């Protein structure tokens, strides 16, 4: 399994919410589809098309990929990550609709979001380690590449078409001004108040050996409120941010690394 900071869904509420949501919608449609088909079932499937996988195999592989690239949410913050989910889903759905109109079918599910994330993940998140096996070099990403290959081959050409739409969406988002758009601030406040507490995961406990030590003679540096607010938007609590800034002596990159690793 890849090593991308703390295990679990710590500081990744959007990833956790999407994992739960796709699980519920996929299992519900699979169960309803194998029993009696209720009235308007096809209409429900059409509405849930962007967040419902075609099968439980897709569900397992898709959420496994999403779990392994959740570090993007920690790196960006949940607001930017959620914004990417919204506009990548919209763009991919439009592309899939155009292809369907021309007789080309694709698999349902959040392919657009997952493969848009991969565009940014490959570009912004460096490998954690490399190993040599029989003269060939592998990184922690090799496992992810294998899952992606399986994910694309599950439904044959339909999965490949959906994955291609997601990659095109990722390129559109990356090289246009769309990536600057953010979720409405009022909606963000509403989610923080009512939804975030349900999804919040306590950070993993840390041993005393990982806590920063301060010299009693070393002056205490003032922390930039702008840096604190920026790190808070990434989902970290203020006490942990201050601790990380003290440890890194206000080096924001070292502080982020400290928060992700501890």
* Domain co-membership, 132 together with 166: yes
The token pair that represents 182 in the structure block: 């953010």
Q: Which of 66-80, 104-118, 155-169, 182-196 has the lowest mean pLDDT?
A: 182-196
Whether 118 and 242 map to the same domain: the answer is: no
With H, G, I as helix, E, B as strand and everything else as coil, classify residue 233: coil
- 210 and 166 share one domain: no
**pLDDT, tens digit, for every residue of 134-191?**
777 877 788 888 888 888 887 778 888 888 998 999 899 888 877 777 776 676 667 7
Both 133 and 255 in a single domain? Answer: no
Yes or no: say if 109 and 22 are a contact pair by the CB < 8 Å rule.
yes
Q: How far apart are CA 125 and CA 121, in angstroms?
A: 5
Q: Is 70 contained in some domain?
A: yes
Same domain, 19 and 137: yes
User: Which of these three, 180, 195, 230, is where a domain ends?
Assistant: 180
Helix (H) or strand (E) holding 137: strand 136-139
Residues 156 and 248 both lie in one domain? no
Instruction: Give the residue with greater pLDDT, 163 vs 234.
Output: 163
109 lies in the same domain as 157: yes
Task: Examine the domain organization and report whether 153 and 248 are in the same domain.
Answer: no
* Look-up of token digits 């050996």: 209
CA distance 259 to 262: 5
Mean pLDDT of the chain: 77
Query: How far is 98 from 100, CA to CA, in rounded Å?
Result: 5
- Indicate the pTM of the whole model: 0.68
Asked whether residue 61 is domain-assigned, the answer is: yes
d(CA 90, CA 26): 19
Provide the greatest CA pair distance for the chain. 74
pLDDT digit string (tens) for 12-25? Answer: 888 888 999 999 98
For residue 124, the surrounding DSSP H or E stretch is helix 111-124
Say yes or no: 211 and 118 in one domain. Answer: no
What residues does 136 pair with on adjacent strands? Answer: 133
Determine the Cα–Cα distance for residues 144 and 125; give it in Å rounded to an integer.
13
Residue 168's pLDDT is 92
**Domain boundaries, position 153:** 13-180
The answer, yes or no, to whether residue 259 has pLDDT greater than 70, is: yes
The phi and psi torsions of 211 (rounded to 5 degrees) equal: -75, 140
Whichever domain contains 219, its CATH number is 1.10.8.10
Same domain (yes/no): 148, 240 = no
Q: Which residues, 6+ apart, have CB-to-CB distance to 43 below 8 Å?
A: none
Nearest CA among 6, 116, 3, 129 for reference residue 50: 116
Confidence of residue 3 (pLDDT cuts 50, 70, 90): very low
| Per-residue pLDDT at 2 exceeds 50 | no
pLDDT category of residue 45 using cuts at 50, 70 and 90 = low
The number of folded domains in the chain is: 2
DSSP 8-state symbol, 224: P
Give the up-direction half-sphere exposure of residue 240: CA atoms within 13 A in the CB hemisphere. Answer: 20
| Domain stop point among 180, 195, 218 | 180
Question: Are residue 164 and residue 45 in the same domain, yes or no?
Answer: yes
pLDDT-derived band at 1 (thresholds 50, 70, 90) equals very low
Examine the domain organization and report whether 46 and 151 are in the same domain: yes
Q: What's residue 176's pLDDT?
A: 85
Mean pLDDT of 44-72: 85
Highest mean pLDDT among 20-24, 213-217, 221-225: 20-24
242 close to 217: Cβ distance less than 8 angstroms: no
Look at residue 185 and tell me if it is in a domain: no
pLDDT at res. 199: 63
Looking up residue 163, the CATH number of its domain turns out to be 1.20.1540.10
């Amino acid at each position: 399994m890849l090593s991308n900071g703390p295990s679990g869904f710590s500081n990744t509420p959007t990833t956790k919410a999407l994992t739960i949501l796709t699980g519920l919608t996929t299992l519900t449609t699979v169960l309803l589809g194998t029993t009696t088909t209720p009235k308007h079932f096809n209409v429900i499937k059409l509405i849930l098309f962007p967040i419902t996988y075609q099968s439980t195999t897709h569900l397992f592989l898709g959420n496994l990929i999403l779990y392994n690239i959740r570090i993007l949410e920690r790196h960006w913050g949940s607001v930017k990550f959620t914004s990417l989910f919204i506009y990548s889903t919209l763009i991919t759905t439009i592309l899939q609709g155009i292809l369907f109109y021309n007789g080309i079918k694709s698999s349902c599910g959040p392919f657009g979001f997952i493969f848009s994330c991969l565009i940014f993940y490959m570009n912004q998140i460096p490998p954690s380690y490399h190993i040599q096996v029989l003269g060939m070099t592998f990184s922690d990403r090799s496992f992810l590449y294998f899952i992606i290959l399986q994910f694309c081959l599950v439904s044959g050409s339909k999965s490949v078409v959906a994955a291609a739409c997601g990659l095109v969406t990722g390129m559109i988002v990356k090289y246009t001004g769309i990536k600057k758009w953010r979720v409405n601030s009022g909606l963000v406040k509403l989610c923080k108040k009512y939804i975030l507490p349900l999804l919040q995961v306590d950070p993993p406990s840390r041993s005393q050996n990982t806590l920063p030590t301060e010299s009693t003679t070393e002056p205490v540096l003032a922390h930039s409120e702008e840096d604190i607010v920026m790190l808070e938007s990434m989902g970290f609590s203020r006490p942990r941010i201050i601790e990380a800034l003290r440890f890194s002596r206000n080096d924001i990159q070292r502080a982020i690394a400290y928060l992700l690793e501890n």
